[in-house]
């Protein structure tokens, strides 16, 4: 097992050349975010990720979590790592200074999050969920709730959870049945069962702050009758000390395919008279609050795809260099060679590398747009940036996670028989990755959001802007020409055409035959991901070309970037036409399957 | 957990309409294989698979195998199931009557094997490996070896193993180091370590017959210096009773991603003076014997892809019908619906169903050609059939296993969050499937065989015949016309064109730039699989069309067949052009990656 080494050079390249870090540093509130500071933060984070979190990844997977009574024990070393994570200030990176945070731009915290996720996905889920809970309280929590809970979650002293799912309410949260009964003292008593609660119980911190979706007695049916509550594991006294144990307990842990280090809990609320809860925001507006938080949560899971792909690629590359097997047909000496000399191993590794870099680039560009949408002084720029973010979130979530699984599976394949043995770690990445297309909204949920709210609703305006930009990028490549840029440009142009035809089809189909539109939503999302990824790879190649022209001294890195973009164009982007065919011509036959009637 | 139900109707359809079972029954030696007999055998096998093997699949996965000392205990119920499997005669189906077998045609034993694999892959590996050992002895074993071992392996009284891999010798068997020292009594003493030995040790039978690759002291280096030996766990006395314990032991079990019910053993030979072994065939011809057996072994693993896909599809279909979540946009009543009503769930299920049926059809057609190659009275027919089989084996192995993983992963996705919980079983299919693209030769090994020995060597003659047949099938579809057949025909024709261009490119490239040819071998194999699968789906649709026209009474089944072929054309075959682009234009950039120099 090799440990994770954060790919700082590629991260910096994507930050500077593609996400526009220097421009971001000029935004209000980001004046202190100098390139040197960012570099220093990345270096420190890389040390923590590689030195502390990565070594616990495989041991945590093997050991898993244990439930005794209602108490969960996390794997050995987990608690020490968490305490050091919080002490080092990593939990406080993204929050605003007024809550004890460091207020770093999203694009910077995104890079850090990629590192935690790559080093130890199961561990990283705890701060990720806590961030979600923090955001909900920042957005809609009363001053009292903020006062009691927020600072201690930002500091990492306590963690947070999101309690949404119930056995009958998964993708469909309108089916939530957990009840909240109002009390005379303005608190509520919560009753019900929640499932799939990540870090719902653990031994890392003395308190856990649950955010819980539940229904008030007079609530309307469906999505408009769901409210959000804070339910702490321990009530908090007026002086901030921990008070009574609340009536919420972990009653079971799920036996999962992966992320074994992360406890996935069944939580029982109110078995002994009702769990004390506090309303967050307005009654019956719980799902709306969830929706506000959703962009960040979905983006974070999309980033898991990038992170696991990076980890799997590193592992596979190292193995391919070490493992000696067979001969190079071009070498007549008869010396056995490392398998990286075999053409198909190179093909697999390049598929891993090129897609990982494409995903990372898109994710960072979207993160940067989040910062612009939040902080840019010009309103039109803010609005456009938000439109871009909204369009891209389901793509980052859906495409990066699906591709992350593909890359992790390729990583197993590169290892041959050793990949199937848990010892090497390659199989764990695949097992861990497999949840990412499911939680925080399945790929189909992302795709339906993409075609409905993000394309059809604005009649293709936001995606039209992106398509126009992509054509410009393609034209620039074509002008440079030559074997690499000619091909990158032509392939991006073809991709943009395929995506345009699919969007035109969608805009015509969605209002009239929504079933057909939904039948093609996932292929359309996949097409968009592949083409947007190709766009970023083309931009990366252009930036590399500029820097080589300007005499940059990291020529090997920059030329590899151009070659990787070309590989992506011929091996990944070349699928665009076939997928567009499937989008446009494949829907009717799907609906004609008759499967639902069998 | 639902149990496996053998898809007898689809199996019979593929047997009769595509594989030509009735013609096969006319072959010498198959006179007794009447359609009624085959139906009766399938029904009995289906009962055994669904009633006995399937219920042990998940319990075996959970319990796994245990090693205490050098003894392996298989999961609870495994031994009883094995004894009944052997007693029922299922181990003896394929072997010839002279060895106590039933001599059924390969196409029939293929259907049975699909059932065992689908019901319980880990269990099925034991008879599969035994069949390999049986075949080696039949082909090259001396009369004495046959007398001592063969009948008892055919009856299932003893099992067999294949001992090929060593730590340094995986895909590259020329690196085998296990030694065989000749003794005065014409036996050998075997010394060395073998890894990844499936059922190398177990408690199912009193003896285990290991076939072991090893080197004689004077053997030439490399592939031409490897010999094959029989090394029984217990020596056999002249009267057939078990004698001394031989010096071969299981020293460790691998901790694997899946197939937990199947013990994967590290075997130590000769730690106490040398394991007694008997030479099979000529000295230094061990790999040649392996090569003769390879077609059957690779075909059998390809069939695992079909089998797991079928199992995953059955599980996903059942779940999608049960699980209620969300609304049908077309239904204004506001009633929650089973998820099978959601368009993307239908799309995923149809991807599973259509690819499973395409794989099954191709596998049965190849199995039938094996029977023709062996038994047909006309020599030219035999030769052509053998050419077809040789061409298709790497495709069945490579494409069916890669697709099996894809289908199993879709099965997890259909389940949503429940798919990630081991309880539902969907995750096990993915874990089990993941080995199939690796063992018995990775996909790249298959692909290199495909482009080198199977296409370039005969200058495309064998594949040219297939391409011509495919164009005829496409033309027949086009003549029928209409929305379905028009599209099926056009898409098959486009697929044949894409494959033709790729083969033309290969024939030009292979002699001059073998590295480029190898860089494109896996995409070319995948393209071939997709197109051959589309060919079989088109043939299936044509057969269904004929039978509907003839007034057949299973109209629903037949129309679903046509619809499924159309789905495959629009969703799977439509990828052909993109893959051909990658084959033809993607090789140079792969080799230019510079990864091997980093």
Of B301 and A31, the structure prediction assigns the larger pLDDT to B301
Q: What is the token pair recorded at B311?
A: 């199992």
pLDDT at B293: 83
Distance of residue A534 Cα from the nearest chain B Cα, in angstroms: 15
Q: What is the token pair recorded at A114?
A: 């990629």
Per-residue pLDDT of A222-232, as tens digits, reads: 899 999 999 99
Q: What is the token pair recorded at B550?
A: 């003839």
Residue in this structure with the two tokens 């039109």, named with its chain if needed: A380
Question: Is the Cβ–Cβ distance between A328 and B519 less than 8 Å?
Answer: no
* pLDDT band with cut points at 50, 70 and 90 for residue A334: confident
Q: What is the 3 state secondary structure string of A315-326?
A: HHHHHHHHCEEE
Residue among A593, A594, A598 with most chain B CBs within 10 A, to mutate? A593
Percent of chain A exceeding pLDDT 90 equals: 94
Within its chain, how far is the Cα of B159 from the centroid?
Answer: 19
H-run or E-run covering A276: strand A275-280
pLDDT at B32: 87
Report CB contact under 8 Å: A591, B343.
Answer: yes
What angle do helix axes B343-375 and A521-549 make, rounded to 10 degrees? 90
Per-residue pLDDT of B570-598, as tens digits, reads: 999 999 999 999 999 999 999 999 898 87
User: Who contacts A291 (Cβ-Cβ below 8 Å, separation ≥6)?
Assistant: none
pLDDT at B158: 98
Is A96 a catalytic site residue? no
Q: Smallest Cα–Cα separation from B378: which of B114, B28, B129?
A: B28
On the question of pLDDT at B420 being above 90, the answer is yes
Cβ contacts (< 8 Å) between A320 and chain B: which residues? 595
Report CB contact under 8 Å: A255, B592.
Answer: no
> For A417, which of B342, B439, B519 is closest by C-beta distance?
B439
Mean pLDDT rounded to a whole number for chain B: 96
On the question of pLDDT at A465 being above 70, the answer is yes
Distance of residue B27 Cα from the nearest chain A Cα, in angstroms: 38
Per-residue pLDDT of A12-38, as tens digits, reads: 999 999 999 999 989 998 988 999 999
Residues facing B191 on adjacent strands: B179
**A274-298 mean pLDDT:** 93
pLDDT at B413: 98
pLDDT at B524: 98
Q: Is A125 helix (H, G, I), strand (E, B) or coil?
A: helix
> For A585, which of B431, B570, B576 is closest by C-beta distance?
B570
Q: Smallest Cα–Cα separation from A248: which of A205, A289, A189?
A: A189
Residue A484, CB-side half-sphere exposure with 13 Å CA sphere: 21
In sequence order, which ranges of B323-378 are alpha helices (DSSP H)?
343-375
Per-residue pLDDT of B355-402, as tens digits, reads: 999 999 999 999 999 999 999 999 999 999 999 999 999 999 999 999
Of A376 and B293, the structure prediction assigns the larger pLDDT to A376
Q: Is B308 helix (H, G, I), strand (E, B) or coil?
A: helix
> For A165, which of B255, B417, B431 is closest by C-beta distance?
B417
Percent of chain B exceeding pLDDT 70 equals: 100
* pLDDT band with cut points at 50, 70 and 90 for residue B332: confident
pLDDT at A1: 57
* pLDDT band with cut points at 50, 70 and 90 for residue A192: very high
Distance of residue B51 Cα from the nearest chain A Cα, in angstroms: 24
Question: Is the Cβ–Cβ distance between A338 and A322 less than 8 Å?
Answer: yes
CA pair distance B474, B538, nearest whole angstrom: 7
Residues facing A398 on adjacent strands: none
Residue in this structure with the two tokens 């072959």, named with its chain if needed: B27
CA pair distance A369, A390, nearest whole angstrom: 10
Closest residue, chain A, to B581 (C-alpha): A574
CA pair distance B6, B218, nearest whole angstrom: 52
Per-residue pLDDT of A559-574, as tens digits, reads: 999 999 999 999 999 9
pLDDT at B291: 82
Closest residue, chain A, to B427 (C-alpha): A257
The answer to which of A344-353, A413-422, B26-35 has the lowest mean pLDDT is B26-35
**A529-536 mean pLDDT:** 98
In sequence order, which ranges of B49-120 are alpha helices (DSSP H)?
55-63, 78-87, 106-119
Q: CB neighbours (10 Å) of residue A452?
A: 18
On the question of pLDDT at A578 being above 80, the answer is yes
Cβ contacts (< 8 Å) between A394 and chain B: which residues? none
* pLDDT band with cut points at 50, 70 and 90 for residue B1: low
Cβ contacts (< 8 Å) between B416 and chain A: which residues? 170-171, 438, 442
The answer to which of A332-336, B112-116, B420-424 has the lowest mean pLDDT is A332-336
CA pair distance B346, B340, nearest whole angstrom: 6
Q: How far apart are the first and last CA of chain B?
A: 48
Mean pLDDT rounded to a whole number for chain A: 96
On the question of pLDDT at A59 being above 60, the answer is yes
On the question of pLDDT at A435 being above 60, the answer is yes
pTM (two decimals):
0.98
Q: Is B553 helix (H, G, I), strand (E, B) or coil?
A: coil
pLDDT at A242: 98
On the question of pLDDT at A292 being above 90, the answer is no
> For B346, which of A341, A431, A590 is closest by C-beta distance?
A590
- Describe chain A by its helix, strand, coil percentages, rounded to 5: 65, 15, 25
Closest residue, chain B, to A253 (C-alpha): B421
The CA distances from residue B189 to A230, B221, B229, B238, in Å, are: 72, 20, 10, 19
Phi-psi region of B276 (alpha: psi -120 to 50; beta: other; left: phi over 0): beta
Q: Is B228 helix (H, G, I), strand (E, B) or coil?
A: strand
* pLDDT band with cut points at 50, 70 and 90 for residue A294: confident
Of B228 and B292, the structure prediction assigns the larger pLDDT to B228
CA pair distance A402, A407, nearest whole angstrom: 9
* Burial (CB count <10 Å: 0-12, 13-18, 19+), residue B32: exposed
* pLDDT band with cut points at 50, 70 and 90 for residue A598: confident
H-run or E-run covering B231: strand B227-232
Q: CB neighbours (10 Å) of residue A20?
A: 18
**B304-308 mean pLDDT:** 98
Residues facing B214 on adjacent strands: B227
Report CB contact under 8 Å: B586, A592.
Answer: no
CA angle, residues B246, B251, B253, in degrees to nearest 5: 125
Residue in this structure with the two tokens 């999302």, named with its chain if needed: A525
pLDDT at A2: 82
For strands B159-163 and B208-214, give the pairing: parallel
* Burial (CB count <10 Å: 0-12, 13-18, 19+), residue A335: exposed
pLDDT at A295: 87
pLDDT at A168: 94
Cβ contacts (< 8 Å) between A432 and chain B: which residues? none
CA pair distance B378, B374, nearest whole angstrom: 10
Question: Is the Cβ–Cβ distance between B247 and B143 less than 8 Å?
Answer: no
Q: What is the token pair recorded at B233?
A: 């766990």
**A362-366 mean pLDDT:** 98
> For B578, which of A320, A563, A575 is closest by C-beta distance?
A575
The answer to which of A33-37, A141-145, B255-259 has the lowest mean pLDDT is A33-37
Q: Is B41 helix (H, G, I), strand (E, B) or coil?
A: helix
* pLDDT band with cut points at 50, 70 and 90 for residue B328: confident
Report CB contact under 8 Å: B438, A416.
Answer: yes
On the question of pLDDT at B294 being above 80, the answer is yes
CA pair distance B313, B2, nearest whole angstrom: 12
Cβ contacts (< 8 Å) between B327 and chain A: which residues? 172
Percent of chain A exceeding pLDDT 70 equals: 100
CA pair distance A387, A460, nearest whole angstrom: 11
Per-residue pLDDT of A88-114, as tens digits, reads: 999 999 899 999 999 999 999 999 999
Q: What is the token pair recorded at B555?
A: 């109209």
Q: What is the token pair recorded at B207?
A: 């003896």
């Amino acid at each position: 097992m090799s440990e994770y080494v954060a790919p700082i050079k590629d991260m910096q390249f994507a930050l500077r050349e593609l996400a526009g870090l220097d421009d971001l540093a000029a935004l209000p509130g980001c004046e202190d975010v100098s390139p040197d500071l960012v570099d220093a933060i990345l270096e420190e984070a890389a040390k923590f990720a590689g030195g502390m979190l990565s070594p616990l990844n495989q041991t945590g997977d093997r050991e898993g979590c244990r439930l005794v009574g209602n108490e969960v024990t996390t794997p050995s070393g987990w608690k020490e790592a968490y305490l050091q994570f919080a002490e080092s200030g990593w939990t406080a990176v993204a929050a605003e200074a007024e809550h004890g945070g460091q207020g770093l731009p999203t694009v910077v915290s995104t890079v850090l999050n990629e590192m935690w996720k790559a080093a130890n996905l199961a561990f990283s889920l705890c701060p990720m969920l806590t961030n979600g809970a923090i955001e909900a309280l920042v957005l809609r929590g009363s001053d009292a709730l903020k006062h009691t809970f927020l600072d201690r979650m930002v500091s990492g002293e306590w963690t947070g959870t999101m309690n949404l799912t119930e056995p009958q309410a998964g993708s469909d949260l309108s089916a939530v049945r957990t009840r909240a009964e109002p009390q005379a003292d303005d608190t509520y008593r919560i009753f019900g069962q929640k499932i799939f609660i990540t870090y719902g119980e653990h031994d890392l911190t003395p308190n856990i702050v649950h955010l819980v979706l539940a229904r008030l007695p007079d609530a309307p049916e469906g999505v408009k009758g769901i409210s959000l509550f804070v339910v702490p594991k321990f009530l908090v006294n007026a002086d901030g000390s921990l008070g009574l144990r609340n009536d919420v307990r972990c009653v079971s842990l799920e036996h999962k395919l992966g992320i074994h280090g992360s406890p996935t809990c069944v939580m029982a609320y109110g078995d002994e008279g009702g769990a004390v809860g506090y309303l967050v925001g307005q009654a019956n507006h719980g799902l709306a609050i969830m929706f506000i938080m959703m962009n960040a949560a979905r983006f974070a899971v999309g980033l898991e795809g990038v992170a696991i792909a990076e980890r799997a690629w590193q592992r596979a590359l190292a193995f391919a260099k070490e493992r000696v097997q067979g001969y190079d047909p071009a070498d007549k000496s008869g010396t056995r060679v490392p398998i990286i000399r075999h053409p198909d191993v190179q093909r697999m590794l390049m598929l891993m590398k090129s897609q990982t870099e494409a995903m990372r680039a898109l994710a960072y560009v979207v993160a940067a747009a989040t910062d612009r949408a939040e902080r840019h002084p010009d309103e039109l720029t803010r609005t456009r940036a938000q439109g871009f973010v909204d369009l891209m979130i389901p793509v980052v979530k859906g495409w990066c996670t699906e591709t992350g699984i593909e890359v992790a599976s390729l990583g197993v394949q590169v290892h041959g028989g050793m990949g199937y043995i848990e010892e090497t770690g390659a199989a764990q990445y695949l097992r861990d990755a497999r949840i990412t297309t499911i939680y925080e909204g399945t790929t189909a949920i992302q795709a339906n959001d993409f075609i409905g709210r993000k394309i059809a609703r604005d009649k293709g305006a936001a995606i039209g802007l992106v398509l126009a930009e992509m054509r410009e990028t393609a034209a620039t490549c074509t002008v440079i020409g030559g074997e690499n840029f000619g091909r990158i440009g032509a392939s991006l142009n073809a991709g943009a055409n395929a995506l345009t035809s699919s969007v035109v089809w969608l805009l015509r189909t969605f209002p009239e035959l929504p079933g057909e539109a939904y039948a093609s939503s996932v292929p359309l999302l996949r097409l968009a991901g592949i083409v947007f990824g190709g766009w970023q790879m083309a931009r990366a190649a252009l930036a590399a070309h500029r820097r080589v022209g300007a005499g940059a001294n990291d020529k090997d890195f920059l030329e590899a970037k151009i070659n990787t973009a070309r590989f992506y164009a011929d091996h990944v982007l070349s699928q665009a036409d076939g997928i567009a065919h499937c989008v446009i011509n494949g829907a009717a036959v799907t609906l004609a399957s008759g499967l639902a009637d069998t």
